[in-house]
Structure 1
C-alpha cells in the first residue's frame, strides 16, 4: 500500500522521539514517517545482504517486515551477516533476525516464513507486501523473485555480491526494466562461483545491503531518483562506483506464470552430467588416506587442488599443490603427470567437489586417480583437529 490513508496512521510519543531526526527532514517529515509505518517490505534471505538491510529498515520505521529463509546460523556467517550473533549459531536465521529487529525497534511487525521459496509459494508469500527485496545468492531464486514481482507488479530491490564487487538496482518499478533485461538467460551452472567457493569481503554486503535499504525507503517515501534503469557497480578493492544504463527489452518474452527455475537454470542437467562424469571415479575416506600416509610405502602421489591461499590455511602432510584452475587450463595436467612418475594418484580439495572435477579433467587426459571424500574439512574433523576447518 504505497498510497496509504495517512489519517489512519498515528505515531506515539516513543515514535516521535525515535524518529525525530527523520521528522525534521523536509523530505521525510511526519507524512513520510507515517508512510514508512504504513509500508510493508518482504526480504528474501537473512544472509550478507539481508542482515544490514533488515537492521536499517527496522530502524527507519518500516511498519511490517516479512522475512523468508530456511537456513540456520553458522559460525562462518558471522564474518558478514551482522544481524546474527554467536549465541544464535545453530538456530534459525529468521528467529535470530526477528529478535534483533525487535531490539532495534519494537514497533515493527515481523512476519516469518521459514521455508524455501518456490514457484508453489512465492505468489502467496509476496502478495501482502508493497516491496520485495532480493537478498538471495543463487540464480534460480533470483529469477523466481523477479518473475513473481512482475506477475504481482511489485518493485524488486536487487543486490548481489562476490569477493570485492557488488551491484544494486531496482527492477520492475514505474515501467523500468526487470532482472531478465539484465540477464535474459542464466549463466551455465558452475560458471559463477558462490561466496562459499570464491569468498567475499565481509564488509561488502554491508555496503550493498544499505544501498538496497536506501532504495526501499526512497520508494516508500516517493522521493529522489531510484536506481531503476541504472545498475550500480561497486568495487570495494579500488573504492569505485560506476553505473550502467538498463532498459526494458521490447522483445523479451512475456512472463505469464512461474516455472521450474532449477530446470530453467540447468541445475538438474548439470548435476546429472557431473554425476555421470564422476560415477566411475573411485573414492577413499580420510581414514583410509591416513592409513596410506602412515604406511609410507611411496606408492601414492597426493595432490591438493585448492587455491594457494587455502593451502596456507592448512594442509595434509605430504601433499602437492596443483590448483584446479591450472588443471582446467591444461598446465596443471602436465604438472600432475610429472608428479606421478609411476605413482598412483590421490586428489583432494576442501570438501570433495573440486577434486572430483579435477579428476574428471585428468581422466580425459588419460590420468586415473582417487578422490578423497569430504576433503580437508573431513580430515580436520576426523583425523587432525589442528588443521583449521574453514
Structure 2
C-alpha cells in the first residue's frame, strides 16, 4: 500500500503541473503565431523536451514496479465465468455450454423436465450411426439432427430413385444422386450445428467393426436379414454397443431396442435361425407414412436413450426389452410384447460364443449361407449360363419359342405383365415344389401354350426372386427326370422396361 500511495502522489504532481498554452494575438495569422509562440514558450519557461522524456520514462518505470508489487501481494484473480467468441458462442465458458442460437433452436426441448439443459448437453456430446438412409433412415436422420445430437453418421451405398420419394421425403430433386450426399445437403440446411459423417458404401463384414466403433448408439434402418444379423453381431463384438432396430412392410411395423443393458438380447437371441422367404419393401410394397412412423420412433427412442442420465437409463434397462408392433390398416393398432432376456447359449452373446472377434475378423462368418442366399450385396445365385439378358428373351418371344413364368405375387402381376406370360408366385413354388410340372402344365394350357419345343424364361420385378425360382424349378424337374431348359432373366421386368420396351410400366 505504501508503494501505491507514493506512486499515486508522484503521478498526481506530474499530471497537475501547468504549462503555458500558446496564445494567438491575431486569429488571421493563426499558424504563424502558433509556431512563433510555441517556440518562444518552450525556450523561455517550459522544461526542455529531454527533461519531459526523462520524466515520462521515470514514471513508466515506477508504474511497472507498482504493477509487479501489486501482483505479488494480491490473491489470484478468479477465472472468468464466461468467454465469448465473435459469433456469440459461450461454449468455452464455465456457465454456458450451448451457443445463444442453440438456446433458441432447442428451447422447446429444454422446457421438458425429462430432458432439460443437462439432457440437451448429453445429446450434444453423443454420437449416433444410422445404417441405411432409406424409408426408415430418412425420418430418423431428420429428427436426430433436428434435436441436436452432436455427431450423426450415415451409411448407405445406394442412389436416389424416383420410386423412393413417396416415403423418403428429404430427397426431393436428388434423383440419381448418392443418398448420403442428398442427406448431407438436406441435414446441413436443417441444422448446421451437427457434425455429419458420411459413408458412401454398403456395410460388410470387412468394414463393419471400424465403421460402428466410434459411435455411442447404432440405428439399424436396413431391410435385409443378412445386414440385420451383421449389424447385431458387430454391436455385440464391440462390447455390446446398444442397437435400435425397426422394420416396416406393407401396412405394419416393428421397433426393438436390442442389447439393452447387460441382459438385453441381441438379434440372434430373438431370431436364432434366419427367416425363409423374407419380403422387402421393393417386393411387397409399403405405405409411406407407415415406414415414416417407424423411423421417427427410432429417433425418439434414440433421443430418450442418449438424453437420459445414468440413473434413469439404469431404471429403463431393468424394465427389459420389448418389441413394439404397429398396425396401420384398417384400424390403427399398437401392441407391446416383452422379449426374453439374453440367451446363455447364443452363438454370439452367450456364455460360450462361437462367433468371436477373432473368428469375425478372419471372415469365417458366412452370412449368405446362414440366410439361405448369397453373400452381402451379391445379386447372383446362378451360374452365368443359366441366365439371359432381356434382349435374348425378346428374340425368343419374337420366334414363338418362349414360355414366360412370372413369379411375382398376384397383386404385382395385376399391375402389369408381359403378354402371354403366366403367373406362378414364388411362394407357391417354395411351398409345393414336387408338383411343379403339373402346375406349369396346367398354367401353360390355361394360356393356350404347350411346353414342347419351348424354353422357359423366369421373370420377376428386378431379377432376384426369379433366380430362386429358377433354382427350384431346375432341381424339381431334375428329380422328375424332366429335361426342360430354364433360364433366369437378368434384371427382370425393370430391365425389360429400360432396355426393350420403354412403354412397359416401371413401379
Does the pair score TM above 0.5? yes
Deviation, 1:50, is 1.0
Q: Are 2:200 and 1:114 equivalent residues in the alignment? A: yes
Tell me the SS of whatever aligns to 1:88. coil
Tell me the SS of whatever aligns to 1:83. helix
- The change in CA–CA distance for 1:315 and 1:18 in structure 2 (over 3 A counts) is same
Structure 1 Cα separation of the partners of residues 194 and 381 of structure 2: 51
Structure 2 Cα separation of the partners of residues 209 and 26 of structure 1: 24
Tell me the SS of whatever aligns to 1:25. coil
CA deviation map 1:41-68 (0-9, x unaligned): 1112211111111100111111111112
Indicate the structure (1 or 2) with the bigger Cα radius of gyration: 2
Deviation, 1:357, is 3.6
Q: Are 2:379 and 1:286 equivalent residues in the alignment? A: no
Deviation, 1:110, is 0.8
Q: Are 2:147 and 1:60 equivalent residues in the alignment? A: yes
Over the aligned positions, Cα root-mean-square deviation in angstroms equals 3.2
Partner of 1:81: 168
CA deviation map 1:305-355 (0-9, x unaligned): 322222233222232333333344446642421322645243332234434
TM-score, structure 2 length as denominator?
A: 0.67
Deviation, 1:107, is 1.0
- Indicate if the aligned counterparts of 2:458 and 2:470 stay in contact, CA closer than 8 A: no
Structure 2 stretches lacking a partner, 5+ long: 1-91, 445-449
Structure 1 Cα separation of the partners of residues 153 and 190 of structure 2: 16
Q: Are 2:187 and 1:101 equivalent residues in the alignment? A: yes
- Indicate if the aligned counterparts of 2:374 and 2:381 stay in contact, CA closer than 8 A: no
- The change in CA–CA distance for 1:6 and 1:243 in structure 2 (over 3 A counts) is farther
Structure 1 Cα separation of the partners of residues 417 and 290 of structure 2: 29
Partner of 1:182: 270
Structure 1 Cα separation of the partners of residues 382 and 226 of structure 2: 24
Structure 2 Cα separation of the partners of residues 302 and 59 of structure 1: 50
Of the candidates 354, 361, 375, which is equivalent to residue 472 of structure 2? 361
CA deviation map 1:349-372 (0-9, x unaligned): 223443444344344233614434
- Indicate if the aligned counterparts of 2:151 and 2:194 stay in contact, CA closer than 8 A: yes
Deviation, 1:192, is 1.2
- The change in CA–CA distance for 1:360 and 1:124 in structure 2 (over 3 A counts) is closer
Equivalent runs, 1:1-390 vs 2, <5 Å: 10-85=97-172, 87-150=173-236, 151-175=238-262, 176-188=264-276, 191-222=277-308, 225=316, 228-237=320-329, 238-246=331-339, 247-252=341-346, 253=350, 254=353, 256-257=356-357, 259=360, 260=363, 263-266=366-369, 270-271=373-374, 278-279=382-383, 283-295=387-399, 300-330=402-432, 333-338=437-442, 339=444, 340=450, 342=452, 344-349=454-459, 350-363=461-474, 364-365=476-477, 366=482, 368-371=484-487, 372-390=489-507
Tell me the SS of whatever aligns to 1:112. strand
- The change in CA–CA distance for 1:49 and 1:122 in structure 2 (over 3 A counts) is same
- The change in CA–CA distance for 1:278 and 1:66 in structure 2 (over 3 A counts) is closer
Tell me the SS of whatever aligns to 2:143. helix
Tell me the SS of whatever aligns to 2:193. coil
CA deviation map 1:134-169 (0-9, x unaligned): 212223332332233232342111212222222112
Structure of greater relative contact order (alpha carbons < 8 Å, 6+ residues apart): 1
Structure 2 Cα separation of the partners of residues 101 and 386 of structure 1: 37
- Indicate if the aligned counterparts of 2:393 and 2:457 stay in contact, CA closer than 8 A: no
- Indicate if the aligned counterparts of 1:263 and 1:269 stay in contact, CA closer than 8 A: no
- Indicate if the aligned counterparts of 1:169 and 1:230 stay in contact, CA closer than 8 A: yes
Tell me the SS of whatever aligns to 2:169. coil
Structure 1 Cα separation of the partners of residues 364 and 94 of structure 2: 43
- Indicate if the aligned counterparts of 2:326 and 2:334 stay in contact, CA closer than 8 A: yes
- The change in CA–CA distance for 1:177 and 1:378 in structure 2 (over 3 A counts) is closer
Moved more, 299-308 or 126-135: 299-308
Deviation, 1:102, is 1.4
Structure 2 Cα separation of the partners of residues 323 and 53 of structure 1: 34
Structure 2 Cα separation of the partners of residues 269 and 341 of structure 1: 31
